[in-house]
Amino acid sequence: MRLANWDTSEDEAVLNSETRHEPVVEPTPITRAVTPTPPVSPSKSAPIKVGTADNDDRTPLRVGDDLANAFATTQRVQVDEKAMINCRADLNQLIPFKYVWAWEKYLLARKNHWMPDEIPMQDDITQWKSEGILSEEERQVVKRSLGFFATADSLVANNIVLGLYRLITNPECRNYLLLQASEEALHTHAYQYCIESLGMEESELFNMYREIKSVGDKSAWALKQTSLLSDPHFNTGTLASDRLLLENLIAYYCVVEGIFFYCGFALILSMAREGKMINTAKQFEMIMRDESMHINFGLDMINQIKQENPHLWDAEMRETAIRMIKEGLELEVEFAHDTMPSGIQGMNVELMTTYLQYIANRRFTSLQLPEQYDAPTNPFPWMTRTIDQQKQVSFFEQNVADYQIGGGIQWDKGDW
């Protein structure tokens, strides 16, 4: 069986611009699971059909089917029985591998181990507590960025654990999702570590998503998606509910992690280029490396689901995906307006908008959708270099001390 891999580096979308609209893979017919669903003891939560297509006669999976299916047959799991969603084979067996791309990403991510307190924060503490080094707007940038991220990664982790995990029905992707959830916990730890180290008002930062509109709007947009999937009565298996799962994946991997994070990342890294808050930027740098892999993994999941279930990716769903990414971009531009109304060195809302449009175009391309914005040039090429360097240096073969010293970015002013 031909396996798909939609991996693209941050620059590949640009390098392959002439062919970017062509599908990366040819849809391959998927053999549905052949193991019949056995009689199971009555489930406490009856399956709820969110919606059913006229030609869709599948029975939605229920919580507990995992367990029932494990002992439904004495036959060993065949690779073609595995599926991204609505799989009725035993989900507890990693082998035989079908989704090799997911396993390879898991192995790669496993080598990314780092800890926030391995990055010394003393220089940033000195800058933050000194008069006259940071402008008021720069202080607001740091606080708003840390305030958004202080809860944002928890939203992502909750979406995985409370929503996605039980609905993605193969052990390879589930293994990666477990690791991603752990990395999101580490990211929340890193932001808390920065906030505590800098002596910020913790309750202000951790309540920002409820008290600052532009932060709250992004969080509410994400939470709405999680609330659908985390409903214990929600199950996939119908046209409408399968589409809701796909929407959730697009929301989190293309918008929340794929757009909502990028204004904050760019702002903090921009300050570091001016020699300000360099250690906070190093924390962000480590997180960006993880996030880049999360986005690529999510795109793989979305495209694999599309390949296995081409009926889901009709004109209506494509329009929905475009609308969601556009909504996300507008919310992120609002966040930029709110966070740096006058701009900081070399960075303003207009440039940020162009950058976000450039990023959004890449998300469209990755989903084999047409670009929606006239933003052919990245105004912050150093962001791409940062992400790419992090991928290319032997992060995955070194410990954190090595890549802080030998493989990291030189943050001196003018180095980029």
- Min CB(346)–Fe ion separation in Å: 26
Question: Interface with Fe ion by CB under 5 A: which range of 4-12, 46-54, 72-80, 186-194?
Answer: 186-194
User: From residue 308, how far is each of 38, 86, 89, 313, 365 by CA, in Å?
Assistant: 24, 11, 16, 10, 19
**Closest of 111, 138, 108, 378 to residue 280, by C-alpha:** 138
Query: Catalytic site residues?
Result: 193
Does 300 sit near Fe ion (CB under 5 A)? no
Q: Which residues between 28 and 47 bind Fe ion (CB under 5 A)?
A: none
Does 90 sit near Fe ion (CB under 5 A)? no
CA-angle at 246, arms to 13 and 335, nearest 5°: 65
Q: Which residue is associated with the tokens 């929503």? A: 163
124/153 with CB nearer Fe ion: 153
- Min CB(200)–Fe ion separation in Å: 20
DSSP string, 302-365: HHHHHHH-GGGSSHHHHHHHHHHHHHHHHHHHHHHHHH-SS-BTTB-HHHHHHHHHHHHHHHHH
HSE of 327, CA atoms in CB hemisphere, 13 A: 17
Does 285 sit near Fe ion (CB under 5 A)? no
- Min CB(23)–Fe ion separation in Å: 26
Site string (244-273) toward Fe ion, x via CB under 5 A: -------------x----------------
Does 291 sit near Fe ion (CB under 5 A)? yes
Does 294 sit near Fe ion (CB under 5 A)? yes
Does 187 sit near Fe ion (CB under 5 A)? yes
User: From residue 336, how far is each of 144, 149, 329 by CA, in Å?
Assistant: 10, 14, 10
- Min CB(277)–Fe ion separation in Å: 19
Q: Which residues between 146 and 165 bind Fe ion (CB under 5 A)?
A: 153
Binding residues with Fe ion: total (CB under 5 A): 6
Q: Which residues between 337 and 376 bind Fe ion (CB under 5 A)?
A: none
Please enumerate in sequence order all residues whose Cβ is within 8 A of that of 343, keeping only pairs 6 or more positions apart, or say none.
137, 349
Binding site for Fe ion (CB under 5 A): 153, 184, 187, 257, 291, 294
